Amino acid sequence: MTVMRSALLLVAILAAIAGTLGDSSNSYSSYRLPKSITPEHYNLRVYTHLGDERGFIFYGRVAIRFLCHEAADSVVLHSKNLTLLEQQITLHEVSPDVPQKASREMDVKGVEYITEHDYAVFHVSTALRKGARYELTIPFESGLGTGLLGYYRSSYLDKRTKQKVWLAVTQFEPTYARQAFPCFDEPEMKATFDISLAHHERYVALSNMPVNRTVPVEDMPGWVLDEFNTTVPMSTYLVAYTVNDFEYREATTSEPGDVVFKIWARRDAIDQVDYARDIGPRVTRFYEDYFHQKFPLPKIDMIAIPDFASGAMENWGLITYRETALLYHPNISTASNKHRVASVIAHELAHQWFGNLVTMRWWTDLWLNEGFATYVASLGVDYLHPEWYSLEEESISNTLDIFKFDALLSSHPISVEIGHPNQISQIFDAISYEKGSIVIRMMHLFLSEETFRDGVSRYLRRHAYGNAEQDNLWEALTEEAHANGVLPDFIDVKRVMDSWTLQTGYPIITVTRNYDANSAEITQTRFVSSEVPADRNVTDYCWWIPLTYTTAKSLDFNDTLPKGWMECTNGTSNGHQVKVMDDLPDSEHWVIFNVQLAGLYKVKYDKTNYRLIIAQLNGPSYDAIGLLNRAQLIDDAMDLAWTGQQNYGIAFAMINYLRQETEYIPWKSALTNLNSLNRILKRTPLYDIFKSYVQYILEPIYERLEVFNVTRKPTDRLDAIKQLTLIASWACRFEVGDCVDRSVQLFARWMNEANPDANNPVPIDLRPVVYCNAIRQGNDTQWNFLWRRYLQSNVGAEKIMIIGSLACTRQLWLVERFLQWSLNSTSGVRKQDATILFSSVSRNDAGFNAAKSFFLTRADEIYEYLSPDTSRLSRYIKPLAEQMFSTQEVQELNELIRKKTALFEKANQGVKQALETAQTNSKWAETNINKMERLLPML
């Protein structure tokens, strides 16, 4: 015992000694940087070679000034895929009086690399002193790769010279700044940056701030160095720079002090920047007013990059976009393309406050960036285009998506604990963006407009240029809500919102009316779409639910303030309560809960209430029920039937009323749900009967809309245009009316044009439908004609639409060749579009088997092609899994994933969700196909 005590004492003494020196090698085992050192300022100089005699490389040096909070014998920071020129590394103590002035030089005795965590550890001979400042200067070099991460190269073909032109650009979120320069690559480690970019004078360089001065580079004829102004304090993932030969158009400023706005694109696409140039400044002013906070930088550059992995990136002052997310061509882009451009620009500009000005402490709260930007962007788009009526459509669209996705057991909480940083890219998903946005909308509606705006402004003021967690936002909103009397004192925002952000899934409430007492009992449980294994407990989940309702007597579908709350307390079994609501109407009048889908929850009623609702929907005044609630009733009934909690009779009775529905949103809800059945039934003998049912539902709306009527008056309403394209797409797929014939004829007319690239008789918004159906009905003649249009097209959105249309072919050899081309960027399909091509093929009737076989046999090749961002592998599995329902198919997929575990490491979250989807389909088919056989002929 004494020996053991002595040994333990020795260990304790050694640990204490190590502690005084701060970070011993033990601390290198953590994926989080030690807190003993924080950066204050970076001076970064980068030289970029774009295919000259030195090839594609970049090199430079970074001088990092940092503060030492504890004594330490090493400096630990991030560096990945960089060669550090160790002999030239220097470390100086910085004079406390003049921080810019280096004083005593320190000896760096060696650099150790911890590759598991991307660490470079600089060991010093003399311990760094607590409270002292130092400057570490590191020369580095690396290659400009094509992996769309870090500092990488992209290219395009110049139409005039027919030459390939190169450019270099950064993508640092979440953890790729370390691949461009050594840095403290964590969001909480904010610092200021002086950036200088050296390049050949034929190029232009951009960064987060305006250029301060440009000077020639010594000993490099024809080269210049652009020195940019010092940035505000910011996280490394928001640093950005690019070297390119693009042109720009500047927005006209309307008021003194307005931000200078420039939109950059390759010369051949500069005619597509005007829409962005118009709306960028307008939505920026909207946010300045909405958040009571001026945009803090003097300029914003927005640039369209030919190869870009995500939709866009909110780098402060230099926002990078995929071409389809920034460029808009009025004669070629569809109304949906325009909406996407508006949404993405509004989203990225919202980030300038939510994410850039106030940044999450760690990636656990990524949703605070993404969910908030998604929600606020919908307000921004509504401000820009009130004539679109887009706010309701975006809300329902996001909610329907999440109802499906988040019903999976393999979903995850909004605020998700992140372990190793290689997990971060997987949470850039529907939960962070769409569910995050929906719960913020819910909060906005139960807090009221004034409380929401003032609370958010308070939060931004309090944490400007710093970092925050979700609790900081809840605190600011609670202060405002209690001051305004919007929330009772016993409810605070944290208590409510934690139940939505820290738990996976969402609730379904069961409303059981007591018609004698004019009351209802309400209970809640988690809604799950798959079978719950014996070892999983979903009954312990409990949410604070804002209860809203209206009745056949009051018909108030505008009041979204809660009439009561379902609370979670520890005093009852599992924290659940039965909530009783009084003052409900008599048995002649229906009740509908969750007005305007203001809360993220589903509702199940008793049979009598369903009967009353169905009678209202199928009668002449169906529209007495609010628009969003018509969509909600269909979605809830279909989901309850899917999980077997209710029979399909009620769901189809809801859908039948659509024969008289004229609005888009209920149709979107119904067809989204019918598509889940279609994916399975299209590969069964029941398909003919199902097809007849869909034709019966669609015929009246197809006739009423006169889809192909070219003399129709144009409309500004986005929902009307989306409805037209949705109905046309379904009508053609299910051979309703003359849809297919008209599509084929229009396409043939286009093929007969003398100059098809200049003259296209197909109405812009119907092009996706017409092209797809002409390709489906045609052969290689039509396919090759459209492929030539793809190669000729200069508009990113049109190219994506053509990829989707080419995937509609029924010619197997064309499908297989197209899939091959997706892994070869010399074919004309860009690497960023490979997943779009694959999912388009796999969702088409003739393409599913070919896509499945392609994936199963070539998974390794796909993995190599996508590297380093292999989290995108889940985009291959998901569209396949959605359509799988036979035991054999599910086994095949399982087997592949089991055999090749390493391939799916960075995509494991998406893979789990895909497998669960396939298993749920399988269970559904087993239970329901016989029922459908009996039910469909009766409808």
Distances (CA, A) of 113 to 58, 119, 176, 420, 501: 21, 6, 17, 17, 37
226 within 8 A of 196, measured Cβ to Cβ: yes
Annotated binding residues for Zn(2+), written as ranges, equal 347, 351, 370
Q: How far apart are CA 256 and CA 254, in angstroms?
A: 7
Annotated binding residues, written as ranges, equal 347, 351, 370
Supply the Cα-derived Rg of the chain in whole angstroms. 29
Q: How far apart are CA 848 and CA 616, in angstroms?
A: 41
Q: Comparing C-alpha atoms, which of 499, 936, 395, 515 is closest to residue 695?
A: 936
312 within 8 A of 319, measured Cβ to Cβ: yes
Q: How far apart are CA 770 and CA 766, in angstroms?
A: 6
816 is catalytic: no
Judging by beta carbons within 10 Å of its beta carbon (0-12, 13-18, 19+), is residue 146 exposed, middle or buried?
Answer: middle
In terms of residues, how long is the chain?
939
134 within 8 A of 91, measured Cβ to Cβ: yes
Q: Comparing C-alpha atoms, which of 918, 840, 920, 826 is closest to residue 876?
A: 840
Q: Which helix (H) or strand (E) holds 243?
A: strand 241-244
Catalytic residue among 93, 186, 348, 889: 348
Q: Strand 204-207 to strand 241-244: parallel, antiparallel, or no bridges (unpaired)?
A: antiparallel
Q: How far apart are CA 166 and CA 51, in angstroms?
A: 8
686 within 8 A of 925, measured Cβ to Cβ: no
58 within 8 A of 47, measured Cβ to Cβ: yes
Q: How far apart are CA 867 and CA 152, in angstroms?
A: 13
Q: How far apart are CA 913 and CA 823, in angstroms?
A: 25
Distances (CA, A) of 441 to 238, 340, 381, 392, 556: 26, 20, 15, 11, 19
Structure-token match 């239970």, residue found: 927
Number of Cβ within a 10 Å radius of residue 15? 11
What does the block give as tokens for 466? Answer: 């710093």
Secondary structure of 52-82 as H, E, C letters: ECCEEEEEEEEEEEEEECCCEEEEEEECCCC
Secondary structure of 605-616 as H, E, C letters: ECHHHHHHHHHH
Q: Taking the CA atoms of 676, 677, 682 and 688 in sequence, report the sign of the dihedral they define.
A: negative
263 - beta bridge partners?
249, 302
Give, in degrees to the nearest 5, the angle at Cα 237 between 231 and 240.
55
Per-residue burial over 790-810, b = 16 or more CB atoms within 10 Å of its CB, e = otherwise: beebbbbbbbbbbbbbbbbbe
Active site residues: 348
